Each structure stands twice: as structure tokens, then as C-alpha cells.
Amino acid sequence: MALNEDAPWGDLTSQTLIPVDARASAALIARESGVFSGGSVFAAAFTLLDPVVVVEVQVPDGAAFAKGDTLATVMGPARSVLQSERVALNFVQRLSGIATLTAEYVALVAGTTARIVDTRKTTPGLRVLERHAVRSGGGYNHRFSLSDAVMAKDNHLAVLTQDGRLSVTEALRQVRASLSHTTHLEAEVDRLDQIEAVLAGGVDTIMLDNFGLTDLRRGVEQVAGRAIVEASGSVNLGTVAAIAQTGVDVISVGALTHSVRALDLGLDVTMTV
């Protein structure tokens, strides 16, 4: 889709400027340090357009690299290399940016029991790639889609209990009874006094949403191992270490995918006729 979007009727510039028999070699160079992700996608951007192009990825996904390192090489018909260049870079720069940011978060919670996980705040159509990049950076994935688990958030619970016929506990118990034993049930709370009612509903995970540090510690103590405890909201590089120290099991970070900066990588191309 990306290749078709970028050149729906071919690369007019290369077709008019570059001789048909010209060949090119290129090197993917790191212009800053980071963590690599997206090697197979980078290669596919060239080989899907032209199977004759040869791509050799020098570092595996998840590997750290330094400024100036060569991450991959490309050889083939010059027109094909030039046409694929931007699409290949767009993918590998974004995915490596996600992996690098994730690795920063993971390093800040080292020594605690907390896992860094992503959210569904991904670029539409690119979720599988962006979540792979989170894993490249040492993070973990939350549910992949709305089809994978039950997550009862505040709006869901408000609808279920709005007429007063069901309590939160009763509503969650009904949900639990309707689910397969393999299906995970998570519920969100935003106050300490909601925790017991949610736990009584039989949840597997309880999300403490936008809790301060003191209340996070109290929440972990109150849950006391009866469910997985997830912290969400107001998580950034400046707050994540302190959140991890409260004893939560999971810290979900939307910024891993929705606010990431593309890493500065460049493709240096040399052409021969």
C-alpha cells in the first residue's frame, strides 16, 4: 500500500533522469544512536518493488547501535533503489524510533516488577509493525484489538449500572460467567473505594487509572495479589520510575506509539552506469 501510494504510476523523476541500465548501491547509516527495528520491512520495501534488488540487514531487530553505524546495505537497479528509498526509510525510522523510546522506558523500570506495555493508540493499519517495534525495545504488548480481551472501562460500567438494577460487582460477575475460561477480564477504576467491588466481580486485571503515587501504593496493597495491577495515565519518562516503584505489575504507555519521534537514519546512495 505504501509503495502504491508513493508511486501510483511509477517514479516519474527516476524514469526521466536515470538510465534504465544504471545500478546503485546504498547504505543505511545511523545519524544518531538508538535501537533497531524494522529490518524485514526495510528490505521488503525494495524487494516487493523489484525482486532483483539485494538487501543485507547488518543488525538484528532489538540491537542497539551508535551514530555512524551501517545498519543495512542495498544493491540493484538504480531506478528501483531510488523509488523505494523513501518508503523504506519511513518505516525503519518510525519503527526504530518506537524501539528506542521503549528501551528508554524499560531501562527506567529496571530492578522493579513492572512491565512496560503499549496500548491501542497506534497508527491505523500499522499496529502489527508498531507493536513489533515495542517488543524490539524490550517492552510488551497489551491486547492487540478489541476482539482479544474484555476491558471494562468507566464508560462501559456506567452504561451497565445506569438504571440501578445492577451493581458493578453484579455486572462484572455476569460478564465473567459469559466468558470462556481462556478469556481475560480487566476493569478500570479511578478511585481506591472502587477496588473491592471490581475485585469481587472476578477480574483478572485491575487498571488504576490516573492514580497519584500514594494511591498507587495503597491500591497495590489493597489488591494484595488478587489480580494483576496495571497503572495507566500520566506516564512519561519523568514519572515512570516512580510509578514502577509503587509495586504495580504493568505500566501502559500510549506515548510509545502515538507520540514517538522518527529516528534519524539516512540512505546514502552511490550510482554507477
What's the grid cell of residue 152?
A: 471494562
CB atoms within 10 A of CB 2: 18
Beta-sheet strand order (sheet of 265-272): 54-57, 70-77, 23-30, 265-272
Q: Which residues form the catalytic set?
A: 86, 121, 153, 188, 209
Residue 10 CB-density burial (10 A; 0-12 exposed, 13-18 middle, 19+ buried) = exposed
Alpha helices in the chain (DSSP H): 2-6, 12-17, 39-47, 78-108, 127-136, 154-161, 168-178, 195-199, 213-223, 240-244, 255-258
